[in-house]
Structure 1
C-alpha cells in the first residue's frame, strides 16, 4: 500500500522520465507493468540500503573498537577526542548511527537507480543485436519471398527461428502474435511492432515494408535492395565498434595494469610497510583487480558483436502409412534386434576410443572430465604433505602448487579449444568462396545437388573435406537439405547455421537461387571481415597487455629483490633508518613478497581473460592467454627473482 502511493507520487512528479521507463519495459518485452517494476525497484533500494546500513554500523564499531593497527588520522577526520583504552560509548554509538544512516541512504539511492537503469541498458543491448541480425533476417525473408511465400508466412517462419536469428525473431514474434490472437491484420500488426521495437533500423525497415505492401510494389525487389543497404550499414557500424573497443582496451591497460603498478610503487616509496600497506595491497590484489576485470568482461561481452548461441533441434517424423498392413512375424530375430540396440549404444564409445583427440577437439569442455580430477589429485597430494611451520611458510609452500593445479585443469582445454577455433576459422573463411562457386554453377542451369558434386572435386582447403562429406551423404540417399543440415550439426557456428538455414529454405521453394547465394556469400564475407579486422585491430592491444604484464613482473621483481631485501637487511643489522621507511622492520618481508607475487598471478589470470575477450570475442579464447601469463609469472618469481 505504501509502495503504491510512493510509485504514484514518483510518476506524478516526473511523468516524462517514468514514461520513458515504461517504453523501455515494452521495448525489452519484459511483461511487467510500470507499477510492478517500480515496486521491485523500491524493494531493491530498501534491501541495498539495509545491507549498506549494516555494513556502516559494523564499520563504525570496527574502526573505534578493534585494533587494526590503523593510524587514527586515517579515519578520525573530525578529530574526535577518543580514548581507545577506556572507551567512549556514547560517541561510538553516535558514530555508528551516523555512519549507518549515511550508508543506508546511499545504498538505497544506488540500489534504486541502478535497478531503474536496467531496462534502458537492456534495451540498448537488444537494439544492437537487432541491428546486427537484421541483414541476415531480411536475407531469409527474401529467400522465402522469392519462392512465392506470403508476408504472414514469412514472418511466422522467421519467428520460429530464434536460435538462428535471435532478437529479430522475437520482434517478429510480436507481430505474429498480434495477427493470430488479437485480431490485427498483418499491416496493423507491423505498424504496432514499428511503434514498440527498440531498433531504429528495424523501425525504418518496417515502415518501408508497410509502404511497399500497401502500394502493391514488388516485395522481392524491395527485400533484395534492403539486404544490400543493410549489409553496407553493418560495415560502417563494425568500424565504429572496433574504435570503441580499442578505447576500452586502452582504458583497461591504463587503469588495471599501469594503475596498480603505479600504486604499488607509490606505497613502497612512501614507506607504508605497516599493516596499513599490507591491507591496501591486499585490496588491490584480491579485490580491485578481480572486480575490475569482471566489470570489463561484462561490459565488453555486452557491447560485443557476436553470434547468437546456436541451438539445433532434430525433428523426427514417424510415418504410419502402412500401419494397417499385416506383417508375418519371422522367428529367431530377437537376437538381431538386441545386437542392433547394443551396437547403437557402443558405437559412440568405440568411435571416441578410436580417436579420442578428435572428440576433445570438437568438444574442448570434455577435457575437464580428466584434467580437473588430475588437478585435484595433484593439489591434494601437496595439501596432505604440508610441512609443519608458520602460516607464511604454508602459504609459501602451497601457492605455487595451487597455480600448477590450475594450469593442469586449464591447459588441455585451452589447447583443444584453440585447435577447434582454428579449424572453424579456416572453414568459415572459405564459406564465401564456396557460396560464390555454387552461385556461378547454379547460374548456368546446374542443380544445387550437382553443384555440390562439382565443387567437391575442387581444392577448398579445410572446407573441402566437409564438402566431400556432404557429397557422400547425397550419394548415399540423403537429399540436398538433409546433407547440409548434417554439416551444420557438425560445425555448430552462427555463420554456418544462418547460411544453411537460408539455402535449405530457398532450395525447398526453387532450384535456381543464384542471386540469393550471392547475398549469402556477401553476408558471410562481412562476418569474416569483422572477425579478421577485430583480430588485427586488437592484436596490438593484446601485445600491449603482454608487454605491460611482463613490465609489471619486472618492476615487482626489482622491488622485492633489490629494494625491500636491502632495506630489511639494514633494519636487521641495526642501522638507523629515518623517514618514511623507518617502519620497514615491523613488517614481514615474506608476507610482502607473497602478496606482490599473488598480485602478479591474479593480474595474469584476469588480463589473459580480458585479452581473449577483446581479441576473439570469447572468454574461452582468453584461457590460453591466462595460462601463458601465469606460467611467465611462475618462472619469473621461482627462477629469476
Structure 2
C-alpha cells in the first residue's frame, strides 16, 4: 500500500485548494504562506506593473502582492500534484500497453535500448528509474503549474472584459443622469457623489466613477487627476474617452452642461446604430440555428431512420442525437447568444413594497439584587420582530396571485410538487423492481414519457403566465413614464411646487402608472416626505425605468425647486429607450416566426415518417418469409427489414419532437425577446402542439 502514499498526498493538496475557496481561515493561511515565500519576489518581478493594471481593470479587491503570491502558491501546488500524477500516469500507460521489454528494445536504436526496460519498472536501474520519474513528473507538473498560473491571470482578463461590457451598456444612462443634474446648479463633485450613492441604479459605470470619487474623498486627489487616473485604469474604451474628455473640459473652463449635452446626444445616436448591429447579429443567429440545430438533426434523423428501417438498426445513433446532441447543442447555442448579445438592465432597487425596519438590539440589564428589569417597550419590539418574520407568509396569504405574479419563479414551488405527484400517479410502475443489471432505460422512459410531458407543459405554462403578467404590467408602467415626467415638468414650469405637481399629476390619467402615483400622493398626505414616497413607488413597481426616474427627481429636488429642465431630459431619455425597445420587438417578430416555422417543418417531416413510412415498413413485414428471402437474396437491400422494431422508432419520434419543442421555444425566447424566461411560453406552446400531434397520429 505504500505506492498509494504519494497519491494520497496529492489528494490532500487538492482538498486544501477546495477549502481555500470556502474557508476563510484556510484562505488566510494560504495567503500568509504565499506572502512569506513569494511576497518579496512578486513586487519586483518583470511585468508587475502590467499585472497591476490588469487587476485594476478587473476591479479585484485585493492587492497585487497578495494576488500574485497566491497565484504562485496555486501554481506550486498544481505542479506538485502534476508531478505525482505524472508518475502514476506513465506507469498506468505502460501497463495498459503491455509490451515486453524485448520488443521495445528491438524496435529502438541501440543507443535508446535502455528505454525498453521502462515497460517493467522492477527491471530498471537507479539512473533509468530517475530518468523515467523526472521526465513524467516534469512534463505533467510543468503543464499543470503553467496552466494554473495562466488561468489565474486569464481569469482577470475575462473579468475585465465583462466589466467593460457592463460599463459600456450603462454609460449612456449615467451620462444622462449627470447631464440632467448639471442643469440643477449642483456642483460637479456633488453630482459624482450623488451618482455613486445610486450605484445600484446605474450599475457598473457608477461603480467605475466611484473609484474616482473615493480617491477625491479619501486621498484628497483633485478632480482632474482623479478623472485622468480613471481613464487610465478603466477597461472600457467608452469610459476612458468620456473621462479624458471630461477632464479636458473641466481644465479648459468650457461649459460643462453643453459638453454633457453633446455626449448625451451622441450616445443616443450610437444607441440607434448599435441596435441595428444587434438586429443584424440576431438575424445571423436565427439562420445558424435553423441550419445547424433544426435542419441538421432533421437530415441526420431522416437518413438514419431510412438506414435503420431498411438495412440495419440505427436506434442508438438516433437516440444520441435526440437525447444528447440536440439538448447540449441548444444549451451551448443559448449560452453563446447570451454572451454575444447580453443586454444588461441594471437598477430597480428592492422589490419589496415597504422598507425593512431597522430595530436596535435591545438589552436587559441586571439591576441591584440580581433581578432583571424589562423595559415596557421590549414587548412591543418583540412583537414587531415577530411581525417582520411573518411578513412573507402574510403576503402569500393576503395576495397569493399577486405574489406569484410579482415573482414568477416562486410558482415553481407549487407546480413542481404537483407535477411530481401527477407523475407518480400517472406512471405505470412495475409490480417488482428489477435488479440494477436488468434495468431497461428505454422501457423506463416509455413508462414516464407522457406524464412527464404533461407535467412539463403545466410547469412551463404557469411560469409563463406569471412572467407575462408581470412583464406586461412593467411595460405598461414604463410606457407611461415619459408622459408622467412631461406633465410634472409642465406643471413645475408654471411655478407649482413639486408636492403640488405630484398632486395634480395623480388626478390625471397615466394608464397603468395611475394607481402608483395616487398611492404616492396618499403617502405624502399621510405625512411622508416627497423623496420617501417616490422611493417607495420605485420599490413597489420593481421597474428599472421607474427607479431611474424616481432617483433623478429625488436628487434634483435637493439642489433646486426648478426641476422642469431635468424632468424634460429624463422624459426624453425614457422616450428614446422606449422607442428603441418597441423597434426591437417589432423586428424580433421575424425571428420568432422563423423558429416557429422551422419547428413545424421538423414536426411535419417526423409526422410524415410516422404516418406513411413506418406503416409501409410494417406492411412489408407481413409479407411471407419466402418473398422476403427472395428479395434479400437478389438485391441485399432489405436484408434487415424483417426484424425492425417500428414501435421503438415511433416512440423515439415522440421524444425527439418533445425535446426539440422545448429547445426551440427557449431559443425563441432568447433570440426574439432576449431572455430564457421569455421562452417559457414558446416552449409550452410548441410542446403542447407536439404532444397533440402525437396523440392524433
State the TM-score bracket (shorter-chain normalisation).
0.7 to 0.9
Partner of 1:502: 552
| Gapped regions of structure 1 (runs ≥ 5) | 63-89, 91-103, 320-330
Alignment of 1:310-349 (within 5 A): 310-312=348-350, 314=355
Q: Distance in 2 between matches of 1:37 and 1:613?
A: 37
Show structure 2 runs of 5+ residues with no match. 1-33, 97-118, 120-139, 361-374, 435-439
Pair 1:139-2:173 in alignment: no
Which deviations, in whole Å up to 9, do the C-alpha atoms of 1:481-516 show, x marking residues without a partner?
A: 111111111111222221211111111221211111
- CA RMSD after TM alignment: 4.5
Task: Name the counterpart of 2:275.
Answer: 238
Specify which of 45, 57, 69 is matched with residue 27 of structure 1.
57
Q: Which residue of 2 aligns with 1:621?
A: 678
- Deviation at residue 336 of structure 1 after TM alignment: 8.6
Distance verdict in 2 for CA 1:364–1:563, change over 3 Å: same
Greater gyration radius: 2
The residue number in structure 1 matching 2:112 is none
- SS in structure 2 opposite 1:166? helix
Matched with 2:491 is 441
Match of 1:371 among 412, 415, 431: 415
Q: In the aligned structure 2, how far is the partner of 1:505 from the partner of 1:355?
A: 33
8 Å contact from structure 2 (residues 216, 223) kept in 1: yes
1:411 has 2:461 as partner: yes
**Could you tell me which residue of structure 2 aligns to residue 450 of structure 1?**
500
C-alpha distance in structure 1 between counterparts of 2:310 and 2:50, whole Å: 52
Q: Deviations over 1:337-389 (max 9, x none)?
A: 88888777777756644543222222222222221111111112234744789
Residue of structure 2 equivalent to 1:192: 229
TM, length-normalised to structure 2: 0.72
* Inter-CA distance 159–44: structure 2 relative to 1 (3 Å threshold): farther
In 1: Cα distance, 2:337 partner to 2:80 partner: 30
2:345 aligned counterpart, secondary structure:
coil
**Partner of residue 343, structure 2:** 305
Match of 1:250 among 262, 271, 287: 287
Q: Match for 1:600 among 643, 657, 660?
A: 657
Counterparts of 2:59 and 2:466, CA distance in 1: 39
Give the 3-state SS of the residue equivalent to 1:536 in structure 2: helix
Offset at residue 248 of structure 1 (A):
1.6
Q: Using a 3 Å threshold, how does the CA distance of structure 1 residues 129 and 187 change in structure 2: closer, same or farther?
A: same
Q: Cα 1:211–1:478, aligned 2, differ >3 Å: closer, same or farther?
A: same
Q: Is 1:215 paired with 2:244?
A: no
Give 3-state SS (helix, strand or coil) of 2:235's partner.
Answer: coil
User: Against the structure 1 CA distance between its residues 347 and 122, is the aligned structure 2 distance closer, same or farther, given a 3 Å change threshold?
Assistant: closer
8 Å contact 1:22–1:34 — kept in the other structure?
Answer: no
Report if the CA contact (8 A) 1:609-1:621 is conserved. Answer: yes
Once the two structures are superposed, residues 268-322 of structure 1 have per-residue CA deviations (whole angstroms, 9 ceiling, x without a partner) of: 3444878873332222222222222222222222322231264439586889xxx
Contact kept in structure 2, 1:42 and 1:112, CA below 8 Å:
no
Within 1, Cα distance between the matches of 2:458 and 2:78?
41
Q: Distance in 1 between matches of 2:147 and 2:615?
A: 45
How far apart, in 1, do the equivalents of 2:58 and 2:379 lie?
A: 57
Partner-residue secondary structure (3-state), 2:559: coil
Q: Residue 514 of structure 1: which of 548, 557, 564 is its match?
A: 564
Worse-matched range after superposition: 491-500 or 127-136? 127-136
Say if 1:439 and 1:517, in contact at 8 Å, map to a contact too.
Answer: yes
**For residue 100 of structure 1, what is the aligned residue in structure 2?**
none
Change in Cα spacing, 1:508 to 1:369, as seen in structure 2 (3 Å) is: same
Q: Deviations over 1:116-153 (max 9, x none)?
A: 76555554443332222112212322344444444333
Q: Which sits farther off after the overlay, 41-50 or 622-631?
A: 41-50
Change (3 A) 1:375 1:274: farther
How far 1:36 sits from its partner (Å)? 6.7
Cα deviation, residue 581, structure 1 = 5.2
**Inter-CA distance 482–155: structure 2 relative to 1 (3 Å threshold):** same
- Residues 277 and 205 (structure 1), Cα distance of their counterparts in 2 relative to 1, 3 Å cut: same
Deviation at 1:181, TM superposition (A): 4.7
Compared CA separation, residues 424 and 318, structure 1 to 2 (3 A): same
Determine the structure 2 residue equivalent to 1:356. Answer: 400
Instruction: Provide closer, same or farther for how the CA distance between residues 119 and 391 of structure 1 changes in structure 2, counting only shifts above 3 A.
Output: closer
Residues 563-602 of structure 1 mapped to structure 2, 5 A cutoff: 563-571=613-621, 573=623, 574=625, 575=628, 576-577=631-632, 578=635, 582-602=639-659
Q: How many angstroms does 1:110 deviate by?
A: 11
After superposition, residues 35-74 of structure 1 pair within 5 angstroms as none
Distance 1:346 1:392, change over 3 A: closer
Q: Is the 8 A contact 1:271 1:582 kept in 2?
A: no
The residue that corresponds to 1:94 in the other structure is none
Asked if the contact 2:349/2:547 (under 8 Å) is kept, the reply is no
1:159 aligns with 2:196: yes
User: Matches of 1:382 and 1:49 in 2, distance apart?
Assistant: 55
Match of 1:168 in 2: 205
Correspondence 1:640 to 2:690: no
Tell me if structure 2 keeps the 8 A contact 1:159–1:172: yes
Which one of 471, 474, 495 corresponds to residue 424 of structure 1? 474
Larger CA deviation: 132-141 vs 504-513: 132-141
Q: CA deviation at 1:179?
A: 3.4
Question: Secondary structure of the residue that 1:518 maps to in structure 2?
Answer: helix
User: Which residue of structure 2 aligns with residue 80 of structure 1?
Assistant: none
| Segment of structure 1 superposing worse, 248-257 or 137-146 | 137-146
CA distance in 2, matches of 1:44, 1:309: 41
Q: Answer yes or no: is the 8 Å Cα contact 2:196–2:209 preserved in 1.
A: yes
- How many residue pairs get aligned? The number is 584
